[in-house]
């Protein structure tokens, strides 16, 4: 089950619904076999963008290219053929309640006219692949949320697509099940070579699976890059908000009150592969200060270290003079520094 992934391109794409602008000057390329996470808050234009890919919406202007072919001018018959190469994974699974798991997986093969015995074998193979070989006769009401989504993924793979579109595919799932589903999608990408476009509002989902990401705001793509780049050095305010949410790198609420109540000067620093934490401690010590970690953590993003730590600067034991201003300036020579305001 190895496919060649689709190359996807948006060129000067615009979409209006009457007087409402949904997408503005979208320019983006997704390489074959890549996983792209498209993230944005509600109303950012994510769902409109994904509907452009499968031809459910037509551009007002611009192009959507799949392997170099502009789909905007395709007839409905041509689009039906195109959609056999595109698998859709939905937020709420969209399974037929009157069909058991294997018949749900068979459904697109029925539409394609595949003989019954052949489609049954294909559906069983896919259920085995997603870890539900023993649930073939189970109906949706007998399955957990994660199992339903696995059936949905198996169905999306039935026609051997070269492109998977996942629209908020994990937002209805608990964190543990989300991790399992993301692991399955990553396996599909690696073993089958399928290109995946993942629409989400959750930065931790992007962090868990994507190669690159695009951030949308008010119908615009405002930032793109490899996931570790956006996490470590977001270029936009919305990018920074998403990164902060995913890593919980700043104390908030009662955590913030607790951190501040212990005294000292508080600063938040960025940690990445180029930052030596021991050097930061030495920089503080050279000005009579001790730097201790008050909050935060360092995580791996695409096999690279990244995190944000809140440091507490206090007078070092035995120091004749403590100059916290100089200590902060010395640390700022080594990494990004922000004051934690009260």
Q: What is the pLDDT of residues 28-60, one digit of tens each?
A: 999 999 999 999 999 999 999 999 998 999 999
pTM of the full predicted structure? 0.79
Same fold, 8-245 and 254-339: no
Residue ranges of the domains in the chain?
8-245, 254-339
Strands (E), the chain: 8-17, 20-30, 35-39, 61-66, 69-70, 86-89, 163-167, 195-200, 212-217, 220-226, 265-272, 289-301, 304-315, 337-339
3-state secondary structure of 227: helix
Architecture of the 254-339 domain:
2-Layer Sandwich (3.30)
Look at domain 8-245 and name its CATH class: alpha beta
The total of other beta-carbon atoms located within 10 Å of residue 104's CB is 25
Q: Is the predicted pLDDT of residue 189 greater than 90, yes or no?
A: yes
Query: Does the pLDDT value for residue 2 go beyond 60?
Result: no
DSSP 143: S
Helices within 54-114 (DSSP H only): 76-83, 101-111
Return the number of other C-beta atoms located less than 10 Å from residue 278's C-beta.
7
Residue 321 pLDDT class (50, 70, 90 cuts): low
pLDDT in tens, 87-128: 999 888 899 999 999 999 999 999 999 999 999 999 999 999
User: Most confidently modeled of 71-85, 128-142, 294-308?
Assistant: 128-142
Give Dmax (Cα) for the chain: 86
């Amino acid at each position: 089950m190895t496919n060649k992934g689709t190359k996807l391109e948006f060129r000067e794409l615009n979409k209006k619904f009457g007087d409402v602008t949904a997408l503005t000057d979208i320019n983006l390329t997704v390489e074959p076999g890549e996983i792209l996470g498209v993230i944005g808050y509600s109303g950012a234009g994510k769902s409109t963008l994904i509907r452009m890919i499968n031809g459910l919406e037509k551009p007002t202007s611009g192009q959507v290219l799949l392997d170099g072919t502009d789909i905007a001018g395709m007839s409905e018959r041509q689009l039906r053929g195109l959609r056999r190469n595109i698998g859709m994974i939905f937020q709420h699974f969209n399974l037929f309640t009157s069909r058991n798991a294997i018949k749900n997986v068979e459904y697109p093969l029925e539409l394609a006219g595949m003989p019954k015995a052949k489609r049954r074998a294909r559906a069983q193979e896919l259920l085995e692949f997603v870890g539900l070989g023993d649930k073939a006769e189970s109906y949706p009401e007998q399955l957990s949320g994660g199992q339903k989504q696995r059936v949905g993924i198996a169905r999306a793979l039935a026609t051997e697509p070269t492109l998977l579109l996942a629209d908020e595919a994990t937002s209805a799932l608990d964190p543990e099940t989300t991790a399992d589903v993301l692991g399955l999608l990553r396996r599909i990408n690696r073993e089958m070579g399928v290109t995946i476009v993942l629409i989400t509002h959750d930065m931790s989902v992007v962090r868990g699976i994507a190669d690159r990401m695009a951030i949308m705001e008010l119908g615009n793509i405002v930032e793109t890059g490899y996931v570790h780049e956006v996490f470590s050095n977001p270029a936009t305010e919305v990018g920074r908000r998403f990164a902060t949410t995913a890593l919980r790198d700043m104390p908030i609420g009662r955590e913030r009150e607790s951190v501040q109540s212990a005294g000292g000067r508080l600063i938040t620093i960025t940690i990445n592969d180029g930052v030596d934490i021991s050097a930061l401690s030495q920089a503080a010590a050279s000005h009579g200060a001790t730097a201790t970690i008050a909050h935060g953590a360092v995580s791996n993003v695409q096999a690279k270290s990244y995190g944000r730590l809140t440091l507490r600067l206090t007078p070092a034991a035995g120091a004749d003079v403590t100059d916290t201003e100089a200590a902060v300036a010395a640390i700022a020579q080594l990494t990004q520094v922000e004051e934690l305001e009260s």
